[in-house]
Amino acid sequence: DAGVIQSPRHEVTEMGQEVTLRCKPISGHNSLFWYRQTMMRGLELLIYFNNNVPIDDSGMPEDRFSAKMPNASFSTLKIQPSEPRDSAVYFCASSLGGLGLSNQPQHFGDGTRLSIL
Amino acid sequence: ELKVEQNPLFLSMQEGKNYTIYCNYSTTSDRLYWYRQDPGKSLESLFVLLSNGAVKQEGRLMASLDTKARLSTLHITAAVHDLSATYFCAVDNFNKFYFGSGTKLNVKP
């Protein structure tokens, strides 16, 4: 079975450019999560969707970050304009059931390694 | 904000030895997760612990949960080099999901 699919795997771009990260969750999963991983801050939950609806976006660092989930099989995380401090690995994960409600683990994609020059 | 603390952060051990990784969290939660991450790779789910006293075992790894003490342990028995990775615990609490800092385990042949 296909796991969580993220694209691109690597992205290198210049400061100020718009960056769009994409995620296809596991079919049938109704919760989707975006995380950022850095050496300094570890793994941080940015936003959590349940049934395509954003439930908690308090982890989104700034207004430059936005995320959408137009349907059950696709989500995007956009950074506009990008800054060097946004450089990190961004993971998408999906699960069956929502936070606090489910006994299922989250399944992670391979991540997007983002470098902002 | 819920805090999840792991210790140790780094662990170097010889093959064949036993050791325990600890995960403390600061507020009530009935769900605790353990994940493994190899360098440059994604996270892989190891265990989901859902109730006080829960114990799960897979191979040389055994995880337990004490919700009253807000403590989970990941015990490694007779370590082998293939267990070298970073291990994270995580807790969900009211629509938020918090990861510990991770324990980087290096098992030396």
Q: How many angstroms separate the CA of residue A7 from the nearest CA in chain B?
A: 14
What are the angstrom distances between the C-alpha of A114 and each of A9, A41, A76, A90? 8, 16, 14, 7
List CB contacts (< 8 A) between B92 and chain A.
99-100
Q: What percent of chain A has pLDDT over 90?
A: 87
Question: By CB neighbour count within 10 A (0-12 exposed, 13-18 middle, 19+ buried), where does A95 fall?
Answer: buried
Dmax over CA atoms of chain B, in Å, equals: 43
CB B55 within 8 A of CB B64: yes
How is chain B split among helix, strand and coil, in percent rounded to 5?
5, 60, 40
Token pair belonging to B37: 């991450």
Query: How, if at all, do strands B103-108 and B10-14 pair?
Result: parallel
Closest residue by Cα to residue B70 from B34, B26, B9: B26
Q: How many angstroms separate the CA of residue A68 from the nearest CA in chain B?
A: 18
pLDDT for res A23: 98
Whether A52 shows a pLDDT value over 90: the answer reads yes
**Backbone torsion region of residue A31, taken as left when φ is above 0, otherwise alpha when ψ lies between -120 and 50, otherwise beta:** beta
pLDDT for res B94: 73
Would you call A84 helix, strand, or coil by DSSP? helix
The per-residue pLDDT for range B19-77, each reduced to its tens digit, is 999 999 998 777 899 999 999 999 999 999 988 888 999 999 999 999 999 999 999 99
List CB contacts (< 8 A) between A93 and chain B.
43
Whole-angstrom distance, CA of residue B65 vs CA of residue B75: 12
With an 8 Å Cβ cutoff, is A108 touching chain B?
Answer: yes
What are the angstrom distances between the C-alpha of B4 and each of A14, A42, B33? 35, 12, 12
Taking CA–CA distances from A40, the nearest residue in chain B reads B101
Whole-angstrom distance, CA of residue A5 vs CA of residue A109: 6
- Inspect the interface and report whether the beta carbons of A107 and B94 lie closer than 8 Å: no
Taking CA–CA distances from A93, the nearest residue in chain B reads B43
At B79, is the pLDDT very low, low, confident or very high (cuts 50, 70, 90)?
very high
Segment A86-112 mean pLDDT: 90
Segment A46-53 mean pLDDT: 94
Segment A87-101 mean pLDDT: 89
- Report the range of poorest mean pLDDT among A71-75, A80-84, B26-30, B59-63: B26-30
pLDDT for res B96: 80
- Inspect the interface and report whether the beta carbons of B97 and A99 lie closer than 8 Å: yes
The per-residue pLDDT for range A10-49, each reduced to its tens digit, is 999 999 999 999 999 999 999 999 999 999 999 999 999 9
At A1, is the pLDDT very low, low, confident or very high (cuts 50, 70, 90)?
low
**Residues within 8 A of B (CB atoms), A 10-69 only:** 33, 42-45, 48, 55-56, 58
Whether A58 shows a pLDDT value over 80: the answer reads yes
**Backbone torsion region of residue A44, taken as left when φ is above 0, otherwise alpha when ψ lies between -120 and 50, otherwise beta:** beta
Whether A98 shows a pLDDT value over 90: the answer reads no
Greater confidence, A1 or A17?
A: A17
pLDDT for res B20: 97
Segment B77-85 mean pLDDT: 96
Token pair belonging to A37: 């991983």
List CB contacts (< 8 A) between A40 and chain B.
none
